[in-house]
């Protein structure tokens, strides 16, 4: 396949609902990252997976946010009890194990919490 893919491209939800965002990395890439891009802000690091190592979760803003990566490939970012301040574009990126300096980004999921 081509690049990193993300689904859905847009998600509108009501405050208090849970949402799941999906990321399919580039085939063969062992590293996967999630970022959040709020309006007028730069990208904010959320979480990093590298192979079978324990993920770096240091960027997750609260315990309502969680992410998993199954089989070393697809990743799901879950936001529980969504709040209006969670509205943002959620970007996923992947890179090869030896070239973590080159991250390839997906197009993002625009989340709107009403």
In the complex, the residues that contact another protein under the rule CB under 8 A are: 4, 31, 33, 35, 40-45, 48, 50, 56, 58-59, 91, 93, 95, 100-108
Closest CB to another protein among 79 and 93?
Answer: 93
Cα separation values, 43 from 1, 28, 40, 52, Å: 25, 25, 10, 25
Residue 85 in 3-state DSSP?
A: helix
Distance in angstroms (rounded) separating the CA atoms of residues 64 and 51:
24
Task: Give me the least distance between CB of 11 and another protein, in Å please.
Answer: 15
Q: How far is the CB of 94 from another protein (least distance, A)?
A: 11
Q: How far is the CB of 48 from another protein (least distance, A)?
A: 6
DSSP code, position 51: T
The nearer residue to another protein, 37 or 80, going by C-beta atoms, is 37
Give the up-direction half-sphere exposure of residue 82: CA atoms within 13 A in the CB hemisphere.
21
Residue closer to another protein, measured from CB, 80 or 87: 87
Question: Residue 47's closest CA among 60, 61, 36?
Answer: 60
Shortest spacing between CB 56 and another protein, in angstroms? 7
């Amino acid at each position: 396949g081509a690049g990193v893919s993300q689904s859905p491209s847009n998600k509108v939800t009501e405050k208090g609902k849970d949402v799941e965002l999906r990321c399919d990395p580039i085939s063969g890439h062992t590293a996967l990252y999630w970022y959040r891009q709020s309006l007028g802000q730069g990208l904010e690091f959320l979480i990093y997976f590298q192979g079978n190592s324990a993920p770096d979760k240091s960027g997750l803003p609260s315990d309502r946010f969680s992410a998993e990566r199954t089989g070393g490939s697809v990743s799901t970012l879950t936001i529980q009890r969504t709040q209006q301040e969670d509205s943002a574009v959620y970007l996923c990126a992947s890179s090869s194990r030896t070239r973590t300096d080159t991250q390839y980004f997906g197009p993002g999921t625009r989340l709107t919490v009403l």
